[in-house]
Amino acid sequence: MTFLSKSLPRRTVLKGMGTAMALPFLEAMLPAGLAAPKQPVRRFLAFYTPNGMAMEHWTPKAEGTAFELSPILEPLAPYRNQTLVLSGIKTSWNYIHAGASGSFLTGTPRGGKTEIEIFADVSIDQLLAKQFARETQVASLQMSMDAPANAGACTGNLSCVYTHTLSWRSATQPLPMEWNPRAVFETLFGDSGTTDRAAREARLRQHKSILDSVTDKLASLKKDLGSQDLAKVDQYTDAVRDVERRIQRAEEQRDLELPTIEQPQGAPPVFEDHLALMLDLQLLAFQSDLTRVISFMISKEQSARPYPQIGVPEAHHPLSHHNDIPELIAQMSKINRYHVQLLSQYLSKLRATPDGDGSLLDHMMIMYGAGISNSQRHSGENLPLLLIGGGSGRLKGGRHIKYADKPSIANLLVTLMDKMDVPVEHVGGSTGKLVIDPLSGI
């Protein structure tokens, strides 16, 4: 590496290029005498699709590196070498739609049994968020294309939280998925209305002033409280510390240049417009390193969204109960393929976005798939799962792996934590790690 006598300001480069887009990390931006960080940044995205899959149109016929993309997976042809198709994995908790999304990132072996009995396990996005929160302003984002339902029963007699989220902060604390792009923008950039640097700095000064006042009042309040009230205040204090951390990280990133975009007014009525906005916000969050962990549901379980724009006017969930009628399965496969096509468009943007010594796609690990395979039977076996991206050198794509021993998705989650350099002994009901690396010499 060539050392410079002084660092190159990022803003100078941006002006010289005549663009407002954030640049990738350049060695010339380092202070004199400092080497580039050796540890690559790794990012995780869970991309969930509901209501099962037309498996006969999903599963590649051949295994190993010689497989051909199936009709549903054909839109991923440009990313074949960074795509790992996994077959034969089963869900760890199979209770119709609740277990599908409820165990996708938790690997929980069971959930509640009534509308008000709510429990699972900590999801891996939140395990990662806890680790990466030290380095980013936003520990994680939870996003969906559907408004949440926080009460009532949605599947069987179980709570709607199971079908409306993938993320669990604790065994009894499911996290809501945000569907409104305006709210996502505010999580990332506050309510300043724009990503403009001056507006962000003004918001930062305001938040610091408010936080100083809250901290002083908490210190005074705690002198006169009993043990039970102190415990409640301590929980609140933890939330305050999280705000302090975010403000500190924001100060460290105050010179970060971002594309200037205005705050969305809300969710556009057209599905594709809404989706494009949500994915662009994800891209911006990853690109600016505001977060490294996102879980996303393109639709909730039991979604009744129709897709007339691709010739499927029937509602998705009723169509998924196709009674094994070939014509209806073919219609179902159109929805499955369309979701993959939309994913492919997103991957194109990730690949086109520079990041360190490669692209965002090179440094991401994307877990795409569903918690149900055969939708007619609510089957939890042979789940449709993909791993996409380079994982900063930790993922080897271009392969189709078929497991004969029906391992649990929980074991896959343990392996993914390893790949993200946040090793854990177990996730949910895991019994070990799942081998996804190619054998030596093959």
For the chain, which residues make up each domain, given as ranges?
Answer: 43-188+262-419, 196-257
- Looking at residue 148, its pLDDT comes to 84
pLDDT of residue 379: 96
In the predicted model, is pLDDT for residue 253 greater than 90? no
> Beta partners for 48?
297, 369
Question: At which residue do the structure tokens 């509901």 appear?
Answer: 50
Q: Which range is least confidently modeled, 57-61, 130-134, 185-189? A: 185-189
Beta-carbon contacts of 240 under 8 Å, excluding residues fewer than 6 positions away, are 211, 214, 215, 218
Q: Which is more confident, 1 or 398? A: 398
Is-contact 95 111, C-beta < 8 A? Answer: yes
Q: What is the pTM of this model?
A: 0.82
Q: Is the pLDDT of residue 30 over 50?
A: no
User: Over pLDDT 70: what percentage of the chain?
Assistant: 75
Cβ atoms within 10 A of the Cβ of 281, count?
23
Contacts of 265 (CB under 8 A, 6+ apart): 182
With bands split at pLDDT 50, 70 and 90, how would you rate the model's confidence at 204? low
Q: Confidence class of residue 14 from pLDDT cuts 50, 70 and 90?
A: very low
CATH number of 43-188+262-419: 3.40.720
- Which pLDDT value is given to residue 215? 65
pLDDT over threshold 50, residue 160: yes
Lowest mean pLDDT among 69-83, 154-168, 190-204: 190-204
CA angle (194 as vertex; 193, 199 as ends), nearest 5: 90
